Amino acid sequence: MRTAALWATVRELVVDRADALGRPLRVLDLGGGTGELAVPLAELGPDLVAGVTVVDPSPDALAALARRAAESGVSGRVEGRQGDADTLAAVVPGRDFDLVCCHGVLEVVDDPALTLRQLTAALTADGDLSLLVSGRLAAVWARALAGELGQALAVLTSADGRYGPHDPLPRRFDLHELTGLVHDAGLQVQRWHGIRLLADLVPSSALDSDADRSALLAVERALGEHPAYPFLGELGAGLHVLARRG
């Protein structure tokens, strides 16, 4: 449930771009780990996705990726390579991907601006980037609701969006900062939306059935993309930006 809205958006993008290009997409998933996104992308079929290359620093994660791909029958179109943003040019020298996914990575790299430039260079002239990061305002909200008001203020006012030295996350982003980084990397934002605006707040007991989970997803998407309340998307635990090169 936590990733349903993200998957729905990425899937729509793949379908639309494959149709526009008249061919299946070549996809790079930076930090894709065990294939939570890569394998479902490959499962969309060879008419939509020609192949997915996962670059991740963990050999254990890449081994799990290989097992998951084999179990799903898509081993021929999912490839794992050990590396990270700093070694991307050497790990994938072709650098001609139609779609690059970077989900939950920008928070932990040494230089987010440099990483985005590396990802831009890996795209085709009109390739797309799917970028997911942790949102600052959601953390402010969560710390305040937990009664940690000092931490809430620190998340809001600190340069890196952290609540202190014991915060496990190196940085969080607000929308203005994120879209500025994307633009500076040579990409144009196509759309954005908030992820998990309510999912972390709704009791699990209220989500017992598929109908309940579908209803929550519908509300999440409506809130995150409602034209009258664009600011609500910034309250998502994740900020998901779709951008295009060129």
What is the mean pLDDT, run by run of 10 residues, along the chain of 246 residues?
Answer: 79 98 98 96 98 97 98 97 93 92 96 96 97 96 94 97 96 96 97 83 79 83 77 88 95
What is the reported pLDDT for 2? 57
Q: What residue ranges of the chain are covered by domains with CATH 3.40.50.150?
A: 4-134+173-245
Q: Quick check: helix, strand or coil at residue 122?
A: coil
At residue 91, the pLDDT reads: 94
pLDDT of residue 201: 73
The pLDDT of residue 1: 45
Could you report the per-residue pLDDT of 33-79, keeping only the tens digit for each? 999 999 999 999 999 999 999 999 999 999 999 999 999 999 999 99
Cα 35 to chain center, whole Å?
13
- 111-123: b or e for each residue (b if 16 or more CB lie within 10 Å)? ebeebbbbbbebb
Main-chain phi, psi angles of 79, to 5 degrees: -130, 130
Residue located via tokens 């969309």: 44
Please tell me the pTM assigned to this model.
Answer: 0.91
Residue 33: strand, helix, or coil: coil
Q: Do 200 and 142 contact (CB within 8 A), yes or no?
A: yes
CATH number for region 4-134+173-245: 3.40.50.150
**Placement of tokens 């879209």 in the chain:** 179
Q: What is the largest CA-CA distance in the chain?
A: 53
Task: Say what percent of the chain tops pLDDT 90.
Answer: 76
Q: What is the pLDDT of residue 231?
A: 80
User: What is the rounded CA–CA span in Å between residue 183 and residue 205?
Assistant: 42
Tokens standing for 172? 């969080």
Query: What is the model's pLDDT at position 212?
Result: 83
Between 136-145 and 149-157, two packed helices, what is the crossing angle to 10 degrees?
A: 170
Residue partners of 86: CB distance under 8 A and separation at least 6: 110, 118
Sequence-separated (6 or more) residues with CB below 8 Å from residue 227: none
Residue 7 tokens read as 């998957």
